Structure 1
Amino acid sequence: MVERLLQSALQRYRIADHRQGLAATLNNIGWHYCQIGDYAKGLIYSQDAVTLHQDLGNRPGAAAAWDTLGHAHHHLGDLQQSTASYHKALDLFVELGDQYHQGEVLLHLGDNHGALNELDAARHAWSQAKVLLNELDHHDAEKAVARLEGR
């Protein structure tokens, strides 16, 4: 059902030549595929989303798409590419001053470093996430605390 709705939205944005909507929908479809475990399809859609967002100069959209791309690469086992994607997302969110999304990407980046057995880098990313999310009084700060405590 969700997939059919997203594909319909994609088709309508293409027909209307609404590139912003198309780029956002490409990333939404990529994230959807990642959430149902089809990371290969998620990778394809999120790569297209990154490209289109960059062409449009939409930095918030590009940042979100880089995060999705990092997630897909992580679950496909390409941890180096995942790290690079997460760093691109993080850099954009820092430029934008978006603390919440910086914190979320830092959680993902920490998990990625943990999977690479880069424990100091993982702890550093989770610590940064904790600080940012605590400043926002956001409940996701607990995720960083749990990771730091090995839970």
Structure 2
Amino acid sequence: MTETYKDWSNKIPYALGAYRTSIRASTGATPYSLVYGMEAVLPVELRIPSLRVMMEADLPESEWARARYQELQMIDKKRLRALYHAQGYQRRIEKAFNKKVKIRDLQKGDLVLKSYRAPVYDPRGKFRPNWSGPYIVDEVLPRKVVRLLDQNGEKLMEPTNHDRPKKYYA
């Protein structure tokens, strides 16, 4: 949409308007409707009146206020429906992720290597190490989390997800 690299800031309101009025896959609703309780009236609908705009234009003020009050009462239902949709979406994402996770039967005292996730830019490029360790499994926590010790017996600061370490056979 931009003509030069300098005029991108002029297009931000259009991009935000499109973002706020498009349906999100995670909630099944638009961010605008979740905040205001009704769908946004697009500028093109004012130029070429839609049925919704024409009906609201013919309503007397008292009727319009009553209809708006009813819409505001229904906003809680819309938000609750969006919450249920988001929870279902999260379950689907979790199920898709868990298909790829390799369950590793780790016990306390096992030697493991932990996958090394380097920063985006690493001067070693493709020659950087993929694994760090070996570490010792200190404890296996619920929800697929393990605590690791280094070779000196010092605990690592944060627990590690169960899919990152793999057994090390020495």
Shorter-chain TM-score range = under 0.3
Query: What is the TM-score with the length of structure 2 in the denominator?
Result: 0.22
Of the two, which has the highest radius of gyration? Answer: 2
Query: What is the TM-score with the length of structure 1 in the denominator?
Result: 0.23
Higher helix content, 1 or 2? 1
Higher strand content, 1 or 2? 2
